[in-house]
Amino acid sequence: SVEKGSFKGSEDERVRRLILAIEIGAKFVDLGFQTSAKLKNLVCAACKKTGARLIISKHFWNKTPALNQLKIFVKKAKTQGAEIVKVATTVKQWSDNVVLFELTRWAVSEGISVIVVGMGEKGKISRLGCPILGSFLTYVALDNRSKTASGQLILSDLTFLKNLLE
C-alpha cells in the first residue's frame, strides 16, 4: 500500500512492529486510514495501555480535495480512534493552500488535533502556515538529501525564518 512507506512485509507484520514500538516507549504512532478496523483496534488498545497517541493519516496524492471532503475524512478518522488526524494533499494551485488553512482553522475550532501538510513545491507555504494556525506539527528534513516529500522544508529553512522573526 502507498500509505505504509517502504515497508515490504505483510500488513499484520507492520502493525505488530508498530505495537512493539508502542510497548517499548513510542509516544506517537501513525497508522494509515486504509488499515483494517481489526488492526486499528489492536493499535488503539496498545496506545491506551501506554498513553501513546494514535495518528490516523491519509495522503491525497492526486489533488487537494474540497474542504467539505477533508472535513468528512477528519471526522471519520476521529471516530476510528485517532487522537491526531494527519491530512497530506498534493497542492497543484496556490488556492489549494487556502483549503488547507481553512481545514486547520476549522479543526482547531472543533477541538480536533490535526497535522495538515501540502505536498509539492506550491505546498511549501502550508508547511509554515498550518502550524501557525494550530496544526500539531510540520515535517522537516535535516538536509535536501533526506527529504521524504516534494516541497518538504529543510532545517536551515526554519532556522532562517526563526532568525527573521526574532
Rounded average pLDDT over 2-21: 83
pLDDT (mean) for 70-87: 97
Give the dihedral of Cα atoms 151, 30, 80, 152; nearest 10 deg.
-10
At 45-57, the pLDDT tens digits run 999 999 999 999 9
Lookup result for grid cell 480512534 = 81
**Confidence bin at 32 (pLDDT 50/70/90):** very high
Q: Which residues are catalytic?
A: 59, 86
Q: Quote the CA–CA distance of 43 and 103 in Å, as a whole number.
A: 26
In terms of Cβ atoms closer than 10 Å to its own Cβ (0-12, 13-18, 19+), residue 162 is: exposed
Q: Which residues pair with 154 in a beta bridge?
A: 141
Phi and psi (nearest 5°) for 157? -60, -45
**pLDDT at res. 5:** 67
Q: Which of 9-13, 58-62, 95-99, 132-136 has the lowest mean pLDDT?
A: 9-13
Backbone angles phi, psi at 86, to 5 degrees: -105, 130
Res 149: pLDDT: 86
